[in-house]
Amino acid sequence: MSMSDILVALLHVSKGFVKGRETIDIFERLDLTIPTKDFVAVMGPSGSGKTTLLNLLGGIDRPDGGEIHIAGTRIDTLSEGDLARWRAANIGFVFQFYNLMPMLTAAQNVELPLLLTNLHSAERRKHVETALKIVNLADRAKHYPREMSGGQQQRVAIARAIVSDPKLLLCDEPTGDLDRHSADEILGMLSILNRELGKTIVMVTHDPAAARYARRILHLDKGHFVEKELAA
């Protein structure tokens, strides 16, 4: 694997939290590389640092030590403003509880990240239509979140995550709030995004069935990765 194939590189990353008088170390000199077009499922017990890992990859949190390189940019040294701009251009987030804006329609929710670009209104509309088509919700563009099922809302959230064509999708328990059928639908969609559109995906999950959609599964245990298996 050449350097140009690596999208994510964590080098000796340390992270801890202060709780009262105690400092709890989550990671100590953690290393991780994720190649472009990979689909990684991160599993592990509660408190193992799965969400902290996503926060670090998304530039939401900063490490106490080490370096984080994503798509050729060292993000742990960026200012808040630069980090926000970098996030808008490179990262798509999918949350467990969809986190759509209730007062905006599906199309307006999907358009939100594009407000940070220089695209004109017509171009933005085109991008939104494409993203909604990818998640099979073109006919729901004018519907509000309250008018949609949980699975449909999560598909809108995926459309919002991919609309600005980010390099990396970070999914935090994307099926945690869905029934099996809707969960399979969402996971199938993520799989298509990875295999057909070449999106690199890091997905945190508790669900082994969900993890099986990934190319590989990483188990976080006491701040270290254990690679369990490779998906077919």
Partner 1 sequence: MNDFVLIRKNLFRKKLRAVLMIVSILIAFAIFGVLAAFERAFNSGETVAEDDRLVVVNKINFTQPMPVAYFNRVRAIEGVRLATYANWFGGYFQDPKNFLIAFAVEPETYLQVVDSDYVITPEMREAFLRERTGVLVGDAVAKKWGWKVGDRVPIGSSIFSQKNGSRSWDMTIVGIFGKRKPQADTNRMFFHYDYLNETRSFGNDKIGWLVLQTTSPDVNDRVAKAIDRSFANSSYETATDTEKAFNKAFVAQLGNIALIVQLVVGAAFVTILLIVGNTMVMAVRERTREIGVLKTLGFSGGRVLRLILGETVLLAFIGGVPGIALAALAIINLRQSLTNFVPGLTLEPSILAIALILMIGLGVATGLAPAIHAFRLKIADAMGRG
Residue 95 found at the interface with partner 1 (CB under 8 A)? yes
From 24, 103, 197, 209, residue interacting with partner 1 (rule: CB under 8 A): 103
Residue 174 found at the interface with partner 1 (CB under 8 A)? no
- Exposure of 86 in the CB half-sphere (CA atoms within 13 A): 19
Q: E strands along the chain, which residues? A: 6-19, 22-35, 39-43, 65-70, 73-74, 91-94, 168-172, 200-204, 216-221, 224-230
- Side chain identity, residue 183: A
Residue 89 found at the interface with partner 1 (CB under 8 A)? yes
Residue 231 found at the interface with partner 1 (CB under 8 A)? no
Residue 195 found at the interface with partner 1 (CB under 8 A)? no
Residue 60 found at the interface with partner 1 (CB under 8 A)? yes
Residue 78 found at the interface with partner 1 (CB under 8 A)? no
Candidates 32-40, 69-77, 98-106, 184-192: pick the segment binding partner 1 (CB under 8 A): 98-106
Candidates 27-35, 83-91, 183-191, 205-213: pick the segment binding partner 1 (CB under 8 A): 83-91
CA distance linking residue 165 with residue 117, whole number of Å: 12
DSSP 8-state secondary structure symbol assigned to residue 182 = H
Q: What share of the chain is helix, strand, coil (3-state, %, to 5)?
A: 35, 30, 35
Burial class (CB in 10 A: 0-12, 13-18, 19+), 20: exposed
Q: How far is CA 105 from the centre of its chain?
A: 22
> Are 53 and 101 in contact, with CB atoms under 8 Å apart?
no
Residue with tokens 């004109």: 120
Candidates 58-66, 132-140, 147-155, 190-198: pick the segment binding partner 1 (CB under 8 A): 58-66
Residue 99 found at the interface with partner 1 (CB under 8 A)? yes
Candidates 1-9, 27-35, 104-112, 214-222: pick the segment binding partner 1 (CB under 8 A): 104-112
Residue 73 found at the interface with partner 1 (CB under 8 A)? no
Residue 84 found at the interface with partner 1 (CB under 8 A)? yes
From 160, 185, 207, 214, residue interacting with partner 1 (rule: CB under 8 A): 160
CA distance linking residue 124 with residue 92, whole number of Å: 17
Binding site for partner 1 (CB under 8 A): 17, 51-52, 54-55, 58, 60-61, 80-81, 84-85, 87-89, 93, 95, 99, 101-104, 108, 111-113, 115-116, 121, 124, 160, 172
